[in-house]
Structure 1
Amino acid sequence: MKKQDILNLKLNPTDKPDYYYLVIDEYILILAFMPFYRLAIMSSVTYKKSLADYLNRLYIHNDDIRRAYLIEHDLGIVLNYRRMDQKEFEAILKNLVITLKELNIHTVDRFTKQPGVLYPAFMAEDIEIVSRQSFAKQEREHQPKKSKNTGLLSALLLGLIGSWMFAHYHKLGLIVSLSGIILGLCTFFGYLWLGERMDKKGIISSVVISAVNLLIGQVFATAISIKDGLAASTKNTMHLSIFETLPLVPHFLVEQDVVSAMIPYLAFTLLLAIITILICFHFYKKAHLLKNTYILYDQR
């Protein structure tokens, strides 16, 4: 049997890829396609030892069942659908529902463990079976715990790693622009470290912070150049620290020749930082597209 054969059973899609739900009578079953041709049939039900015994027998007598369990209120059957035909699969679903009816088993709320009028719901990253009350409660309680301001601070601090690399390796010439990759990575993940989830505002903030950190790196790079220049011109008789040469930096940064020389380095480094941030955001968005999402599937 192929995946499409199962989908032809008119499964209801969810917003999570490869996750579906099926309502048979009053029972809600969650179906999840997994790698290596495996399919998980899951639900939240009232616990009875007789149901656990039925699942154990199902696992023992069917070679295509990879796992069958009832842990507290979590029911699950994992099977290899590639080795089954459609009739065999439909028989497993039918017999499961018949058994649930015979044993007077009910579908229960994932949070309260109580039966009632229930619905499948997409909550954050999971598919749950809940009542409207539980859905509303979970939706209200699911609030971001992190602050945007702390995200900006952590991005600025972690981005200093890229600033240090730009200042320390500025003598390498245009190669130093590769530090923009490190700067972009540090700023992006620094924002996520203590901040909210990444969005368009986060991207703009990351780019601005990268530019600020890059200017900080340029200031220290200039201070290092002044320090080395003074040491060379005085034949190593003047030993100044970087912090002692920092007050001299503004005098150099206003000279047109110095500005013209450093703009290509700054522009290329910032460009690499922006490209890195955008690439990270592409993969982040793909992986976190459904995070913080709450959807109730009302099939009634």
Structure 2
Amino acid sequence: MKKKEIETLFKKTPKKGFYTLEKDGYLFVLESLGLFKYGLLSVIEEKGPLNEFIDRLVIHNQYVERSYIVNNEFGVVLNRIDINALELLLDEIIAFFKDNHIENICLHCHQRKDLAFFYNDVNIEISCEECLQEVEYKEHSSHLLRGILGALIGCIIPTFLFIISRHIGYLIAPVGILYGLLAYYGYKKLGYYMDKKGICASFLTAVVTMFLGQSVRYVYDVVDAFQANWKIKVSFSEALGVMPGLINGSVLAVGLVYLIYILVFLLVTYVIIIIIEKRKGHHFNVIEKL
């Protein structure tokens, strides 16, 4: 469906990809999921043959990819549906609700009240004003030191793999992805929350541990060089002492190439995680009644 077609039936909202509809006393939210998919959402009472109706939608409607009811949140995932088919589906859903005396309820208190659409930083909610006055919507602050500790712990595994893979170039990609995943979620685990400072701190932690890993790789390169060229076994501490005099520009350049590759995969992983987490977020600091 094109945006203009959607807007003939639904109302555009400040949140990109979200639309609202009030029809026959029922409130619906339409969310664009990308790749020609849409999510039709509402908050309703769970009663009557609702589960059978949900199953029937998937079986008999070619556009319904999935339907569900979870904690009073009714949802239908639609694939490649046109506006006419969407309108017919809405009529079918509303008719079922009316026949079974199913009403919209508040997302928070699950009561029948005067409901409205409310916009926050992440999505559109169907709620009553009383609940929104009681619920605190604010940006949570992460615990910086605990979060950095979590990111450091998470970076142990990719750093170890980075060090032992100095002769195996194809491990660079998964190492970069692991740095991103474990640094991000390590920070979030111990920092209790992920905010902007958490994103920056965990990313920098991954970069710092990555450079430390490369430094250790240089030391082992010195150990290997003594063994290969002079058949001399040197310890890690001995190699560390002579490393500054043996590492030249060409060696540093090779190491820099590895670091750039890992940084690219790290950055891409972070971007993907942030996009996914933003869609799943539950902490907001802006509320607007639509």
**Do they fold alike, i.e. is TM over 0.5?**
yes
Rounded to whole Å, the distance in 1 between the matches of 2:100 and 2:42 is 16
Partner of residue 210, structure 2: 210
Rounded to whole Å, the distance in 2 between the matches of 1:279 and 1:253 is 33
In the TM superposition, residue 161 of structure 1 has moved relative to its aligned partner by 0.7
In the TM superposition, residue 211 of structure 1 has moved relative to its aligned partner by 0.7
In the TM superposition, residue 204 of structure 1 has moved relative to its aligned partner by 2.6
SS of aligned partner of 1:147: helix
1:195 aligns with 2:187: yes
Partner of residue 111, structure 2: 114
SS of aligned partner of 2:20: strand
In the TM superposition, residue 121 of structure 1 has moved relative to its aligned partner by 4.9
Rounded to whole Å, the distance in 1 between the matches of 2:182 and 2:114 is 44
Partner of residue 191, structure 2: none
Report the number of matched residues. 274
Instruction: Select the residue among 84, 87, 94 that pairs with 1:96.
Output: 94
1:35-86 CA-partner distances (Å, limit 9, x unpaired): 896755432223453x859968x96xx9678588878844456778856638
Partner of residue 154, structure 2: 154
In the TM superposition, residue 260 of structure 1 has moved relative to its aligned partner by 3.8
Rounded to whole Å, the distance in 1 between the matches of 2:223 and 2:121 is 49
1:43 aligns with 2:34: no
Partner of residue 165, structure 1: 165
SS of aligned partner of 2:22: strand
The answer on whether the counterparts of 1:111 and 1:134 sit within 8 Å (CA) in structure 2 is yes
The answer on whether the counterparts of 1:124 and 1:290 sit within 8 Å (CA) in structure 2 is no
Query: Quick one: which amino acid aligns to residue 104 of structure 2?
Result: T
1:263 aligns with 2:243: no
Query: Quick one: which amino acid aligns to residue 192 of structure 1?
Result: Y
Query: Which stretch has the larger CA shift, 215-224 or 76-85?
Result: 76-85
Instruction: Select the residue among 265, 268, 279 that pairs with 2:268.
Output: 279
Runs of 5+ consecutive residues of structure 1 not aligned to the other structure: 170-175, 234-239
The answer on whether the counterparts of 2:105 and 2:112 sit within 8 Å (CA) in structure 1 is yes
Query: Quick one: which amino acid aligns to residue 29 of structure 1?
Result: F
The answer on whether the counterparts of 1:227 and 1:245 sit within 8 Å (CA) in structure 2 is no
Rounded to whole Å, the distance in 2 between the matches of 1:253 and 1:53 is 69
In the TM superposition, residue 266 of structure 1 has moved relative to its aligned partner by 2.3
Instruction: Select the residue among 218, 235, 239 that pairs with 1:249.
Output: 239
What TM-score does the superposition give when structure 2 sets the normalisation length? 0.68
Runs of 5+ consecutive residues of structure 2 not aligned to the other structure: 189-193
The answer on whether the counterparts of 1:108 and 1:116 sit within 8 Å (CA) in structure 2 is yes
Superposition RMSD in Å: 4.5
In the TM superposition, residue 188 of structure 1 has moved relative to its aligned partner by 1.8
Task: Mark the CA change 1:73 to 1:253 in structure 2 (over 3 Å): closer, same or farther.
Answer: closer
> Which one has the largest radius of gyration?
1
SS of aligned partner of 2:235: helix
What TM-score does the superposition give when structure 1 sets the normalisation length? 0.66
Rounded to whole Å, the distance in 2 between the matches of 1:181 and 1:68 is 37
Query: Quick one: which amino acid aligns to residue 254 of structure 1?
Result: P
In the TM superposition, residue 264 of structure 1 has moved relative to its aligned partner by 1.9
Partner of residue 173, structure 1: none
Rounded to whole Å, the distance in 2 between the matches of 1:225 and 1:63 is 68
**Superposition map of 1:12-51 within 5 A:** 12-13=12-13, 15=15, 17=17, 19-24=18-23, 27-33=26-32, 41-49=40-48
Task: Mark the CA change 1:266 to 1:115 in structure 2 (over 3 Å): closer, same or farther.
Answer: same
Partner of residue 237, structure 1: none
% identity of equivalent residues: 13
